[in-house]
Amino acid sequence: ERTTFYQPTAAEGIEAAVPLRSKKWFNDEEDPGMTGIYLERYLNDGVTLGELALQNKPIIGIAQTGSDLAPCNRHHLQLAKRVRDGILAAGGTPMEFPCHPIQETGKRPTAMLDRNLSYLSLVEVLYGYPLDGIVLLTGCDKTTPALLMAAATVNIPAICLNVGPMLNGYSGDNTRLMGSGSVAWDNRALYATGQIDAAQFVQGMATSAPSIGHCNTMGTASTMNALAEALGMALPGSSAIPAAYRERGACAYATGRRIVDLVREDLKPSDILTKEAFENAIACCTAIGGSTNAPIHLNAVAKHIGVALDCDDWDRVGYELPVLVNIKPAGQYLCEEYYRAGGLPAVQAELLRNNKLPHPSAVTVSGRSVSDNVKGDVSRDRRVILDFDKPLTQKGGFINLKGNLFDSAIMKTSVIKPAFRERWLSNPDDPMAFEGPVVIFDGPEDYHARIDKTPGITEKSILIMRGAGPQGYPGAAEVVNMLPPAELIQQGIELPCIGDGRQSGTCGTPAILNASPEAADGGLLGYLKDGDVVRVDLLKRSANAELTPEEIKERRAAMPSYKGPKSQTPWQKMFRESVAQLADGMVIKEAVEFQRIAQTMPI
Ligand code: FES
Ligand code: MG
């Protein structure tokens, strides 16, 4: 059993490889006056932070993302105490500070809007305060990429610690596992067809969230934290430990210890977040059956560290690999079983044994390579972490589609259900292609208002969601996975969905999403009309409206492009003006110029 997350390395107790960054605040030999000004408030805290700072010990920030507003990450308020103990034990000085809250399910219009805001504010904190290293307390969906993006930009030694998934949820009669998030999608269908009432809907949701922690399915939270580990930015074996387990606290302590040595060794995000590391993470994303939000977030982290990564890389590296982890939404189990089966190291080891981990020698925060980290690991439950030769699904990654509709949109073909395949993808001459007339919705509100009242939606229709991208909705809504009208649901019919928004990682609908450019940025989705025929060929990676270039030109000239609702807050407006498309990570365009700024800081 994996009980240690960290073995002391040769660096422990040695002098730092480079002068501490915090020296510029607290040990300015030329100007003791400035040291005095910087220091006096810290001396005033009553817990000797100032004294420790003067001893030239690494100062380690703890980026706290837990709060009452961010309940998925709230357990970090406790875990941070263990992190502090670890930092102190290794000879560092902890300084904990709050991050802008990001709550996936509670923030309107979407938590995604706040990822870049949290990123920006953390960059300012990391750059402008006397921090030598940083512990990133991650968990809920957008907290992980927001913090990683900031660590990439500033490029001081950094390590991720996620809060851990919730314990398993069970149905009231204990017969079924209730996975967080996924239950909502099941219940929506049951509610729409009158099989459950509103109280049963809410009760079902509650049973799926039985403890502290982030979502216990392979939604965006579990995905992004697994990928932080796969990138090499979290201790091996850490991401899958359930929040409520004893090992989670031990891991917090080990993480606190390790960051102090990362500072001494001067092992920075730029040493770890290489193209090789991203390719390893893409391979792992397929193997775990990861969320469709992952390409957006990893492409963003890559942009901030200066690595070229796009959705073609995801298709090239990830598509052909099998899904090895049998947990919801694609599979049967939840994160407790996943952890007991070995978590990410067992998955990486399975890839490694089959020569499918692209870069085994990539370096990680443990100070060792991925292959050294996971050597000897093996699945302890083959029902949950499957044998490479007996996977949950073959070709489990994302395909990257292109055509006149958009330059990039991804699809997770592994969640296509047999009934959908039968209905849409079973033409023997053209097994992976389908076409049909479109029905268009301008944003989620339009969809909800009209889905059951719009005549002409048939079993042959393709549903289009537009105006849901980064500019259109600000932040891009998780709405592309649209249910068909209730009468089609009753017949068990699923319709293809295409859109410029996103989709929840806990949802198993085979939608074509993250379309870039979006309607609000001039994409052709904005000029489509009801009844236009769209043809998708998954094999050729193409998605086109059957319109001639002349017709497209005429439409562009005749129709104003879709702009979406008015901005309601200052940040929404600024966000819309500065944001890149989903395929480009939805980053702040101007922010990409500022790479690795700690190395060039003119204090
Ligand atoms: Fe926060 Fe899923 S809603 S982790
Ligand atoms: Mg989500």
For 121-174, the pLDDT digits (tens) are: 999 999 999 999 999 999 999 999 999 999 999 999 999 999 999 999 998 788
Q: Which ligand is nearest to the CA of 335?
A: 1
pLDDT tens digit sequence for 539-556: 999 999 999 999 999 999
DSSP-derived 3-state class of residue 178:
strand
- CB proximity list for 144: less than 8 A, separation 6 or greater: 136, 138, 160, 162, 221, 224, 225, 227, 228, 297
Nearest ligand to the CA of 111 is 2
Three-state SS across 145-173? HHHHHHHHHHCCCEEEEECCECCCEECCC
Q: Which ligand is nearest to the CA of 505?
A: 2
Ligand nearest to the CA of 180: 1
CB-based contacts of 72, cutoff 8 Å, min separation 6: 103, 104, 139, 140, 163, 213, 214, 215, 221
Nearest partner of 145 among 179, 182, 111, judged by Cα: 111
Consecutive H or E run containing 549: helix 549-558
CA-closest residue to ligand 1 atom 1: 140
Query: What element of type H or E holds 587?
Result: none
Total length of the chain: 603
User: Which ligand 1 atom sits closest to the C-alpha of 214?
Assistant: 4
Which of 67, 68, 73, 105 most suits a substitution to test ligand 1, by most atoms within 8 Å of the C-beta? Answer: 105
Between the CA of 186 and the centroid of ligand 1 the distance, in Å, is 17
Cβ atoms within 10 A of the Cβ of 89, count? 12
490 three-state secondary structure: helix
Looking at residue 17, what is its pLDDT? 76
Give the span between the Cα atoms of 473 and 450, in whole angstroms. Answer: 18
Distance (Å) of CA 558 to CA 99, 104, 237, 551: 46, 38, 56, 10
State the residue for tokens 């990822």: 115
Q: Residue 520 corresponds to which amino acid?
A: A
251 CB near ligand 1 (under 6 Å) = no
Residue of 222, 127, 149, 156 lying closest to 505 (CA atoms): 222
- The pLDDT of residue 600 is 62
At residue 431, the pLDDT reads: 85
Task: For residues 498 and 510, give the distance between their C-alpha atoms in angstroms, rounded to a whole number.
Answer: 9
C-alpha angle with apex 74: 71 to 75, nearest 5 degrees? 135
Ligand 1 pocket, 70 CB below 6 A?
no
Beta-carbon-side half-sphere exposure of residue 253 (alpha carbons within 13 Å): 12
Best probe residue, ligand 1, of 137, 166, 215, 478 (max atoms within 8 Å of C-beta): 215
* Strand, coil or helix: 412: strand
Distance from the Cα of residue 4 to its chain's centroid: 26
Ligand 2 center to 455 CA (angstroms): 31
DSSP 71: G
- Beta-strand runs (E) in 248-315: none
Burial of 320 from C-beta contacts in 10 A (0-12 / 13-18 / 19+): middle
In DSSP notation, 347-402 reads HHHHHHHTT-SS-TT-B-TTSSBHHHHHTT---S-TTTB--TTS-SBSS-SEEEEB
> Which residue's alpha carbon is nearest to atom 3 within ligand 1?
104
Integer distance in angstroms from the first to the last C-alpha of the chain?
47
Nearest-angstrom CA–CA distance, 329 and 472:
28
Point out the residues of the chain with pLDDT beneath 50.
Answer: 1-4, 10, 602
Give me the interface pTM, i.e. the ipTM. Answer: 0.91
Coil, strand or helix at 556: helix
Q: Tell me if 56 sits within 8 A of 27, measured CB to CB.
A: yes
How far apart CA 106 and CA 235 sit, in angstroms, is 30
Q: What is the DSSP letter of 107?
A: S
CA distance 392 to 332: 10
**Which amino acid makes up residue 87?**
I
